[in-house]
Amino acid sequence: MSEQHVLIVGGRIENIRKAKEQGLRVVHLQQPDQFTAEHASLVDAALLVDYTDWSVTGPLVAAAHRAYGFTSVATTTEAGVEPAGRISDLLGLGGVSHEVTRLLRDKLSMRRHLAAVAPSISVAAEEVGDRASMAAFGARHGYPFIVKPVDGIGSLGLQLVESADRLDEVWETITRLRHSDHQFARFFPLERFLMEEYISGQELSVEAFTFGGRHVVAAVTEKLTYDNFVELGHVVPARITPADEAAVVACVTEFLDAVGVVSGPSHTEVRLSERGPLVIESHNRPGGDRIRDLVEEAYGFDIERYTVAWPGGGLPALEERPTPLRAAATRFLGAEPGTVTAVEGLEAARALAGVLDVDLAVERGSTVRPLRSSWDRPGQVIAVAPDADAAVALCEKACATVRISTAPDPAE
């Protein structure tokens, strides 16, 4: 067993398993209600607090560092990136700084920064003040435009302002969402909103890992979305031309340099606009929706393992982009809002050749909420195939095999 300790902030249990498989000792900083018996059996020490409260986390981590001497900090969760940045700064661990993590979390600050240092890959953006500020933005930059939370995730609160006729409706929604008690409100409060130009074109994400300031793109992911921008699925490799892929890689490399990402994973969302690739947003963590699993299945590169273990020195740096081995895709299951009365076809879907997982988030008696954010999706299918078209088709077949029946909820 290595004497190297890593501090892992939040994240799924696979973070811990992979760090241990690499021979690392693990100190786990986790929300108390997320810590399980399996965590306890794997970790060398645990700090169970609300890690987003720096007044508690800072002194506790400093004391733990004196005891365990961890040499790196890692996180794969959005709620953990700012605490991890603070910890890296406090202890001089050499990871991504809090200044950079905050720049990525605060989409308005990111837009302002790009406007100053890399305007060719950004768009106009301003903070929502009142209804009149939206009318003024529409007059200056045209319709449609986007309104979204400054530091939200999962498409929660994202709205397309198609015309001036929608301003009253959008303003009412903003007013309702501010300080709303949604299920992840303690991590992602919906208080500040920004307006930005709408970017048309195909939506993609770029999964990269940075080694000492050198960015290596592991995959370009094609996104499939509902009309309200909630993600319907993903497929890697993306079905785009080599020229477009080269332009996307160049755009994201410029972006990561511009914002100051010096190490670790990143997940950057872009659109292929008429102006070329433009950045939507970025995160210094692996992509959600199990994109990290798709990348591993398609390219053989485990970005989650690298996130927790590469700073410990047990893994080699990538010298070039990995070569695709096959395609991998995910599609999300659908169901009418209401109370789940039955789930059928689950085992038949799991038995389809090439289906790796059907991950169901509901069961009989669960509530399916109206689809307003990524958290409202009732499950997902992961599948692999020789090419992207076949992987997407297999996911669609598996989704059609699973039938989630619901009864309307009178309260809804």
One pLDDT digit (tens) per residue for the chain, 412 residues: 457 899 999 999 999 999 999 999 999 999 999 999 999 999 999 999 999 999 999 999 999 999 999 999 999 999 999 999 999 999 999 899 999 999 999 999 999 999 999 999 989 999 999 999 999 999 999 999 999 998 866 567 788 999 999 999 999 988 888 776 655 555 666 788 999 999 989 999 999 999 999 999 999 999 987 665 677 899 999 999 999 999 999 999 999 999 999 999 999 999 999 999 999 999 999 998 899 999 999 999 999 999 999 988 889 999 999 999 999 999 999 889 999 999 999 999 999 999 999 999 889 998 988 877 777 888 999 999 999 999 999 999 999 999 999 998 766 5
Q: What's phi and psi for 48, nearest 5 deg? A: -105, 95
Which backbone phi and psi does 31 adopt, to 5 degrees?
-65, 135
pLDDT of residue 1: 43
Which is nearest to 280 in space by CA: 137, 123, 164, 147?
A: 123
CATH topology of domain 5-95: Rossmann fold (3.40.50)
Tell me the CATH architecture of domain 124-197.
2-Layer Sandwich (3.30)
Token representation of residue 388: 């992207």
Determine if the peptide bond prior to 32 is cis (ω within 30°): no
32 secondary structure, DSSP code: G
CATH topology of domain 327-412: D-amino Acid Aminotransferase; Chain A, domain 1 (3.30.470)
Closest CA to 358 of 325, 326, 397, 389: 397
Pick the CATH number of 199-325 from 3.40.50.2300, 3.30.365.10, 3.30.470.20, 3.50.50.60: 3.30.470.20
Q: Per the structure block, which two tokens stand in for 28? A: 């786990």
How far are the Cα atoms of 127, 147, 231, 371, 373 from residue 227, in angstroms, in the given order?
24, 15, 9, 11, 12
> Start-end ranges of CATH 3.30.1490.20 in the chain?
124-197
pLDDT of 409 = 73
Q: Provide the 3-class DSSP secondary structure of residue 67.
A: helix
Cβ proximity of 395 and 383 under 8 Å:
yes
Distance between CA 289 and CA 285 in Å, rounded? 12
Give the side-chain half-sphere CA count within 13 A for 23: 10
Q: Within the chain, which residue ranges are assigned CATH 3.30.470.20?
A: 199-325, 327-412
The encoded tokens of residue 205 equal 């994400």
Residue ranges matching CATH 3.40.50.20 in the chain: 5-95
- In angstroms, the CA 271 to CA 136 distance is 25
Start-to-end Cα distance in the chain:
53
Q: Where are the beta strands (DSSP E) in 226-365?
A: 231-236, 264-273, 276-283, 327-332, 338-344, 355-360
Structure tokens at 284: 């210094």
DSSP string, 344-363: ESHHHHHTSTTEEEEEE---
Euclidean distance between CA atoms 44 and 60, whole angstroms: 16
The answer to whether the beta carbons of residues 324 and 387 sit under 8 Å apart is no
Q: Is 403 left (phi over 0), alpha (psi -120 to 50) or beta?
A: beta
Q: Check if the beta carbon of residue 338 is closer than 8 Å to that of residue 368.
A: yes
